[in-house]
Amino acid sequence: MAGWDRAGSVFAYCFILTLCLLGGYEGLERDQNGYVMYCPCMGRFGNQADHFLGALGFAKGLNRTLVLPPWVEYKPGNPRSIQVPFNTYFKVEPLTKFHRVVLMHQFMEELGSTVWPQEERIAFCYVPRHNSEGCNAKEGNPFGPFWDTFGVDFVGSEFYRGLTYDVHYQNMADKWSDLYPPSKWPVLAFTGAPASFPVQENNRGLHKYLEWSDAVLNKAKKFINSLPYGHYIGIHLRNGVDWVRACEHVHHSPNLFAAPQCLGYRNEHGKATTELCLPSFSTIVKKLKRVVKATGAASVFVASDSDHLIPELSKELRKMKVSVHKHEPADPHVDLAILGRSKHYIGNCVSSFSAFAKRERDAAGFPSSFWAFPLEKEKSAKQSASATRHIEL
Ligand code: GFB
């Protein structure tokens, strides 16, 4: 996917200018209540989407317009992140049903120099970063490339120690407004997302305002139409090497990454297990067969960052006359849109990528479940050892 390059900027500028001349467009009006701006500088798509919902809730709580940041992507071998305009993947209009938003490039082109003059560009962070006295908002990748995309340099730092992003909590929104009134601070520009990870429970429902762009949706629909006639089940297999390594820490992190989506935010439904994070092939086959049987599905769609297990799953489901498919070329957003539209979805509870499809389906009232959940008690090492001895006897 192409980034926000020079040709794109020139084209957009000409397009907006033509609209102004033909349609009497008078440009963006300044929001006197101010703006929230941030760099989605942590993680990949799943993490950024969690943060986006939090930032949307935060901007609403503060009654400031949310500046929609581009999505930050990384290409192997490229030392600088690529910034993909927000509306490449999502429509802007549905978000406005919840709150005021503006695309970042539009804000910078039309209001950047007046609302947020260069000499007033202050970076917000909780505490100083990188052993320095300031936010160092442009230090490292993707921080520098992100702000460079819009020609932003900061002249100072502001630490908001003592304040949190939880505007659902007591009078936190008032505290922000008292300390940073929009008349004096028209733009709160955050070094990272003003949101927690994983997404706070209160903000999960905001997902209903995230609708795929036509470009993503059309690719997903084309693929769905190519599947055999009948229902399909969508499954997410997160099994790349980064994930295998991450799952090794599951016992020390009982609510790792997105795990609260099934375990509860206070581990009400148990602690993360290895099977929950990295389900074995037998766990996958057992659950998949059960769901296929219950729904009468004709096919299975597999989304994966690494091994789709197509031959292995096809073999297991042959007797049930169910075929197994993946989308090519690999495209994370199209994969998610296809998962979001299946008859039933089985995701990985720990993965924030999986969590995106679960939230989209929850908003639409579609059913989903997770690998290895509800939890079965994992055998302790002692029990397994004694079981092995027993078999040997
Ligand atoms: O989205 P994400 O933060 O989810 O990062 P997790 C995983 C990335 O892997 C996605 C790719 O953004 C995609 O680029 N990916 C994962 C996939 N699943 C699929 C898939 O089904 N199809 C395609 N096409 N691509 C965690 C991070 O990833 O992984 C943590 O949250 C950490 O920060 C950990 O990096 C190791 O939550 O799954």
302 lines ligand 1 (CB under 6 A): no
pLDDT band at 131 (very low <50, low <70, confident <90, very high): confident
What is the predicted pLDDT for the residue at 385?
37
pLDDT band at 130 (very low <50, low <70, confident <90, very high): confident
Minimum-distance ligand 1 atom for the alpha carbon of 237 = 21
- Cα of 44 vs its chain's centroid, Å: 7
What is the predicted pLDDT for the residue at 41?
97
45 lines ligand 1 (CB under 6 A): yes
Mean pLDDT, range 26-31, rounded to an integer = 89
- Tens digits of residue pLDDT in 305-314: 999 999 999 9
Residue 73 C-alpha to ligand 1 middle, in angstroms?
12
- Tens digits of residue pLDDT in 335-377: 999 999 999 999 999 999 999 999 999 999 999 999 999 997 6
The CA distance from 308 to 324, in Å, is 10
pLDDT band at 22 (very low <50, low <70, confident <90, very high): low
pLDDT at 291 over 60: yes
Is the backbone of residue 151 left (phi > 0), alpha (psi -120 to 50) or beta?
left
Q: Which stretch of 13-22, 25-34, 79-88, 228-237 has the lowest confidence by average pLDDT?
A: 13-22
What is the predicted pLDDT for the residue at 348?
98
Mean pLDDT, range 73-92, rounded to an integer = 97
Cβ-based neighbours of 354, under 8 Å, separated by 6 or more? 46, 236, 238, 258, 347, 348, 370
**Mean pLDDT over the full length of the chain:** 91
Q: Which phi and psi angles does 338 have, rounded to 5°? A: -70, -45
Residue 377 C-alpha to ligand 1 middle, in angstroms?
27
The CA distance from 304 to 318, in Å, is 21
Residue 103 in 3-state DSSP?
A: strand
pLDDT at 5 over 70: no
213-218, long-range: CB within 8 Å, 24+ apart, which pairs? 213/87, 213/88, 213/89, 213/90, 213/91, 214/91, 215/88, 216/89, 216/333, 216/334, 216/337, 217/337
What is the predicted pLDDT for the residue at 169?
83
The CA distance from 279 to 238, in Å, is 9
Structure tokens at 309: 């297990």
pLDDT at 381 over 60: no
pLDDT at 390 over 70: no
Mean pLDDT, range 243-258, rounded to an integer = 96
116 lines ligand 1 (CB under 6 A): no
- Tens digits of residue pLDDT in 195-232: 999 999 999 999 999 999 999 999 999 999 999 999 99
Structure tokens at 64: 């400031």
pLDDT at 7 over 50: no
Residue 83 C-alpha to ligand 1 middle, in angstroms?
17
What is the predicted pLDDT for the residue at 330?
97
pLDDT band at 181 (very low <50, low <70, confident <90, very high): very high
pLDDT at 132 over 70: yes
pLDDT band at 18 (very low <50, low <70, confident <90, very high): low
pLDDT at 23 over 70: no
pLDDT band at 383 (very low <50, low <70, confident <90, very high): very low
166 lines ligand 1 (CB under 6 A): no
What is the predicted pLDDT for the residue at 147?
98
